[in-house]
Structure 1
Amino acid sequence: MKPKSRIKMDPEADSHLRIGFIGAGNMAFGIAKGIISGNVLPANIKVSAPSKRNFGRFQEIGITGTNSNVELVCGSDIVFVAVKPHLVRDVLNGISAYITDRHIVVSVAAGVTLETLQELLPENTSVIRMMPNLPCIVQEGALLFTRGSCAKPADGVLLRSLLQHCGLVEEGPEAWIDIHTGLSGSGVAFVYLFAEALAEGAIKMGMPSSLAHMIASQTVLGAGRVLRESGKHPAQLRSEVCTPGGTTIYGLHTLEQGGVRASTMSAVESATERARQLGQKSTARK
């Protein structure tokens, strides 16, 4: 088998890549915004979707759209498959004949396993499965990827380089992808629920709604930055906020009485198990 044609890694390598997104939803948009924050020109990126409805925001940042997945694939080196999981099979069946040994195919479809992706694409295709999360749209995402059997370490290095402005980018075994979905993909909604509850507690005590929600969002943002940038364990930071007999320890006692810790752990477990179920279904549909 002839060696694959790959763009060599150098400081200017990313700028020459042609990148395509099949799917024009939030994930595609967030990742595309992060990529053009690096060395890739918007003119080198294209997005495809059945309708032009979601093309507007891409066009505003210089990315062109097409209704043809085949056209997109033929003009791309890296193809991000960013469609709903139930559409992946039809999409890959439609482009498989046009995938060559120069392509890297990156799936961001929840629950669709590497086994399924590799079965639907030509033999020896470099496939990467990745799970981003919603904060990618503000370049504060958490992305975890795993390489298929034919994807080289250099492909992972290239993907990291492209996505470095999207947020935290890590590589791990496929078994971690579903856990990441439960922790970070679904976890975003858990944080929103907590922020909503924080604001409603303040509203109950007499604060205006708009101000309560602004302060709750800033509290979540600020706490997250301190946690990330300090490198400290959450329990250590929590203890630093508490003073003996103070307001925080009283509030934490109430949260513990409500089972917030156990409920959160169970929520991550439930979301992870559901992701695994979706993966089993995608593998079973052969």
Structure 2
Amino acid sequence: MKILSLNIRGFGVKGKFGWVKGICYSEKPDVAVFQETKCRCLSNNWVHSLWGNDNCGFVQREAIGNSGGLLVVWDTSRFIVEGAVTNEFFIAIEGKWGGSDHDSIIVNVYGPHNDKKKKKMWGALDELLNSVDSAWVVCGDFNEVKCHSDRLNCTFHHARASRFNDFILKNKLFEISINGRRFTCISDDGTKFSKLDRFLVNDKFINLWVDLSVVPIDRRESDHCPILLRDRVIDFGLKPFKVFDEWFNKVGVDKIILDAWELGVHGSRRDCNFRDKLKNVKK
């Protein structure tokens, strides 16, 4: 599973189309969400060329004049879209991951700068997330930060950050941390830094995948760096012992585990002592 998110700041700028096309070719995302496209009506041929093939679907919200614009593109063999909702501030697509019954809703957000519109956006997102009990991914450029450390050489608005955090808590969302990158947006003069781009997910989405992580991709043609949500399956080999969920429904199982853990072990090395305690629990 791979979901790419990027504020492109206008696809019409020279070099950006080819840059994004290269990312799609190398990373092969299942779904890609773009903010601030600054595009009007996009053709099938244009999207197919960006994606690298015609095995894709897309939904867009056109830019108003030379500002805004949202685009969501997906691989039709890996994410089967069953419906879409567009809004002034977001596009939401609902579907299933290919070869499974796993339902997910992916929301592409582009947050406004105006404080009044920000409040309107949080309300619209609250209503959307409360409408369906599903696995959620809310991502994009929120144009907002969670805490003071998410900005450098920029003004921090405590009230706005509080509303953002309230939205996250109210909807029981979790942020998947970005590996190796503190900020996602750098001003054109290179003096101001902010973390505006994120992936927020709920527990149902977390339960679908193993070891979720967000990795940044080199920022080349935009003031925002692309970020990629992906899962990674790790094979640690054979399990040391099996635990069946049914055991935890038995009365007294917790006492058995605690008593076994408290049994004395003898050794000078902590790792060996830990191993021997696991052996006691296993018995």
Query: Which range, TM-score by smaller chain?
Result: 0.3 to 0.5
Higher strand fraction (1 or 2): 2
Which protein has the larger Cα radius of gyration, Structure 1 or Structure 2?
Answer: 2
- TM-score, normalised via structure 2 length: 0.33
TM-score normalised by length of structure 1 = 0.33
